[in-house]
Amino acid sequence: MLIANVIAYLLQLSFPALMMQWFALWPGGGAGLGALPLAAPWQLITYSLLHGDIFHIAFNLFAVWMFGANLERVWGARRLAWTYVAAVISGAIAQLIVGAALGAAGGPVIGASAGVFGILLAYALVFPEHRIMLLIPPIPLPARVFVALYAALELFLGVTGTQAGVAHFAHLGGLLGGWLGYRNLFPGRRRR
């Protein structure tokens, strides 16, 4: 996941307009391909490989590594990857549905944040008492409390539109993919 994001980011730096047009998620059609959001269905996944700047990709990949490494040790790489992809897809669908319901086409949606939120929720469900240290203020919180507070903040920001330009509902939709990974609801997989 980390390598794919870095390669896509390097391609994005080389061909910015082309990568955005073809691979970003465009709610309502936007400036991307086709007049319908699903005219280019690969965008339900590829949007997560594009990022706004070096800090955006660095933060997302750090979070994937930080929380995903522990999950991978418990679950294995395959289940972690399925959880990440499920979170990315459910985040895209949530953003499209909410965007359509609110009548807001909006600009392109990019970033791995939905996948990060999915992994973060799965982490909190598997390791609910592990401590996560906030940066500001520096307070340690159990993972389950941290994720609940973060999800509530995302919901508040999404509903109020306080932080424009951020796909808050993609983040919240990513939580569903994390839950699916935790429940191990993928075809051909047995629960352990």
In a domain, 139, yes or no: yes
Identify whether the C-beta of residue 87 lies closer than 8 Å to the C-beta of residue 117: yes
In a domain, 189, yes or no: no
In a domain, 114, yes or no: yes
Give the pLDDT confidence score for residue 188 in this predicted structure: 52
Number of domains, the chain:
1
- Three-class SS state of 168: helix
Give the pLDDT confidence score for residue 161 in this predicted structure: 81
Asked whether the CA dihedral 86, 27, 148, 6 is positive or negative, the reply is positive
Euclidean distance between CA atoms 158 and 10, whole angstroms: 30
Q: Which residue reads 């993972």 in tokens?
A: 143
Question: What pTM value is reported for the model?
Answer: 0.89
In a domain, 188, yes or no: no
User: Domain containing 104 — which CATH number?
Assistant: 1.20.1540.10
Listed as ranges, residues in the chain with pLDDT below 70 are: 28-39, 103-106, 185-192
In a domain, 192, yes or no: no
Give the pLDDT confidence score for residue 33 in this predicted structure: 53
In a domain, 76, yes or no: yes
Give the pLDDT confidence score for residue 83 in this predicted structure: 96
In a domain, 190, yes or no: no
Give the pLDDT confidence score for residue 34 in this predicted structure: 47
